[in-house]
Amino acid sequence: MAKHEYFQGIKRVTYEGPRSDNPLAFRYYNANQRVGKKTMKEHLRFAIAYWHTFTGMGADPFGAPTKKFPWLQGADALDRGFRKMDAAFEFMTKIGAPYYCFHDFDLVEEGDSWKESERRLQKMVDHARSWQRQTEVKLLWGTANLFAHPRYMNGAATNPDFRVVACAGWQVKNALDATIALGGAGYTFWGGREGYLSLLNTDMKREQEHLARFLGMARDYGRANGFKGSFYIEPKPMEPSKHQYDFDAATCLSFLREFDLLDDFKLNIEVNHATLAQHTFQHELQVAANAGKLGSIDANRGDYQNGWDTDQFPNNVYELTEAMLVILGAGGFKTGGINFDAKTRRNSTDLTDIFYAHIGGMDAFARALLAAHAILEDGELKDFVRQRYSSFDKGAGKQFASGKLTLSDLSRIAGVFPEPEQISGRQEYIENLISRYV
Ligand code: XUL
Ligand code: CO
């Protein structure tokens, strides 16, 4: 532990069970409790997002920062970086999160020269390595912030100016080096400004080709330098660009397929990005899972009444249960996990609020895991779906599914039967089945 304690008066958060009324205890997340073949900790692989939790100070388009994080008060950038990291590892240890995620310049502010930025990053990586050794906290994934600096206003890898693309390359190389040095299990690309505002000044085809070229270069560099983890693309339909090239899971998969990147890239699916794309989170997870590309998730929730990325902490156990059904159905996380890409509200200004937020999110996921596991064990849901498609398991249905029939065959077979009788989809019955476990 560092000499200074930032979260004073808060001890390690422990599991006290559903009857506990201690707001600083888990009521459902019991790290070592077995659920099927794995413990909760192994299933959920929680990660803390460095940007929201230790760097985001509550500024919004209408107002100044509200959060007076003590670790950000120093005069010197490196000093602030070190103190932020000490606070981060104190928090992650106390909440019992096994992982964290960062952008390069969450760790420390960018300097005023390439050299100075690299020097700062190197210092932070050394400090993180020493903290990782002293604690059990590991890096789930690293990434580069290719959207905040004004140079990226027209995009990073898709910028029409090659010099900006080169800057993005410099940043990704350093961020990959940091991720590799810290044993990161993954590396994420969220295309912050990889998209466009107006088609009138944009060569979309060319920009997408550049993006693919850039991702391929990052992949080659990572692999050549010992990175064995997963590369993730994180879909998001809009904001900050009007049109983002990585709109949703299906768009990303088709892009990866077109440019022959599928072997090395999986998807990192974020709840609020799914809903901005007019999908449910479950839908996006299933699209990724169907392609064998469900890598990791960014957990949060949007707001039902507005249309932007509010990044609130997840608390809807029913929806999370549906999500966990897909995740468990796909075999669970391998290199990925549940990264809380979520922030406390602007007026939640106490340091304790950070604990309440994460405890709530972790408990909600633990309940969803328990419910989803029990639903799968019970088997009725799976049987119901299997039964629904059983006409393809035998006879002509099976021949159709295995490609042995022609359209003329279908037409002939249709003529043999009377009008098919109605078969209910029984959605409400199935929804009630989920409710029994939530
Ligand atoms: C932005 C977002 C990012 C990525 C990492 O909406 O989700 O924080 O997760 O760059
Ligand atoms: Co995210």
Tokens at 434, concatenated = 């989920």
Q: Verify whether ligand 1 is closer than 6 Å to residue 241 (CB atom).
A: no
* Contact between residue 284 and residue 249 where contact means Cβ atoms under 8 Å apart: yes
pTM across the whole model: 0.97
Nearest CA to ligand 1 atom 7: 341
CA of 235 to the centre of ligand 2 (A): 9
Nearest CA to ligand 1 atom 3: 190
Ligand 1, residues 53, 106, 270: which to mutate, most atoms within 8 A of Cβ? 270
Q: What percent of the chain has pLDDT over 90?
A: 98
pLDDT tens, residue by residue, 122-179 = 999 999 999 999 999 999 999 999 999 999 999 999 999 999 999 999 999 999 999 9
In Å, what is the CA distance from 207 to each residue of 155, 341, 424? 9, 28, 47
Q: What's the confidence (pLDDT) of residue 414?
A: 97
Rg of the chain over Cα atoms, rounded to whole angstroms, equals 24
Average pLDDT over residues 298-312: 95
Nearest-angstrom CA–CA distance, 6 and 86? 8
pLDDT tens, residue by residue, 214-264 = 999 999 999 999 999 999 999 999 999 999 999 999 999 999 999 999 999
Ligand 1, residues 141, 147, 236, 339: which to mutate, most atoms within 8 A of Cβ? 236
AA identity, residue 316 = N
Q: Verify whether ligand 1 is closer than 6 Å to residue 236 (CB atom).
A: yes
pLDDT band at 191, cuts 50/70/90? Answer: very high
Average pLDDT over residues 407-436: 97
Give the DSSP letter of residue 156.
S
Average pLDDT over residues 178-189: 98
Q: Verify whether ligand 1 is closer than 6 Å to residue 311 (CB atom).
A: no
Average pLDDT, the chain: 97
pLDDT tens, residue by residue, 326-337 = 999 999 999 999
Ligand with an atom nearest the CA of residue 191: 1
Nearest-angstrom CA–CA distance, 315 and 360? 7
52, 103, 283, 373: the catalytic one is 103
Position 1 pLDDT exceeds 90: no
C-alpha dihedral (220, 221, 223, 229), degrees to nearest 10: -110
Ligand with an atom nearest the CA of residue 156: 1
pLDDT tens, residue by residue, 4-35 = 999 999 999 999 999 999 999 999 999 999 99
Q: What's the confidence (pLDDT) of residue 74?
A: 85
Strands (DSSP E) found in 186-335: 186-190, 195-196, 230-234, 243-244, 265-270, 294-299
Q: What percent of the chain has pLDDT over 70?
A: 100
CATH architecture for the domain at 34-378: Alpha-Beta Barrel (3.20)
Strands (DSSP E) found in 191-342: 195-196, 230-234, 243-244, 265-270, 294-299, 338-340
Using the atom order of ligand 1, give the atom closest to the CA of residue 339.
9
52, 86, 104, 106: the catalytic one is 106
106 is catalytic: yes
103 is catalytic: yes
Q: What's the confidence (pLDDT) of residue 2?
A: 60
Nearest-angstrom CA–CA distance, 378 and 205? 49
CA of 190 to the centre of ligand 1 (A): 6
Tokens at 383, concatenated = 């049987």
CB neighbours of 388 closer than 8 A, spacing ≥ 6? 423, 425
54 three-class SS: helix
Give the DSSP letter of residue 299.
E
Q: What's the confidence (pLDDT) of residue 124?
A: 98
Q: What DSSP letter does each residue of 314-364 carry, written as one string?
A: P--HHHHHHHHHHHHHTT--SS--EEE-----TT--SHHHHHHHHHHHHHH
CA of 429 to the centre of ligand 1 (A): 37
Q: Verify whether ligand 1 is closer than 6 Å to residue 270 (CB atom).
A: yes
* Contact between residue 71 and residue 87 where contact means Cβ atoms under 8 Å apart: yes
Using the atom order of ligand 1, give the atom closest to the CA of residue 190.
10
pLDDT band at 3, cuts 50/70/90? Answer: confident
How deeply is 220 buried, as exposed, middle or buried, from its count of CB atoms within 10 A (0-12, 13-18, 19+)?
exposed
CA atoms within 13 A on the CB side of 101: 32
Q: What's the confidence (pLDDT) of residue 16?
A: 98
Nearest CA to ligand 1 atom 2: 190
Residue with tokens 């075999």: 331
Q: What's the confidence (pLDDT) of residue 245?
A: 98
CA of 206 to the centre of ligand 2 (A): 26
Element (H, E) at 100: strand 99-103
pLDDT band at 75, cuts 50/70/90? Answer: confident
Q: Verify whether ligand 1 is closer than 6 Å to residue 363 (CB atom).
A: no
pLDDT tens, residue by residue, 332-386 = 999 999 999 999 999 999 999 999 999 999 999 999 999 999 999 999 999 999 9
Q: Where in the chain is the domain with CATH 3.20.20.150?
A: 34-378
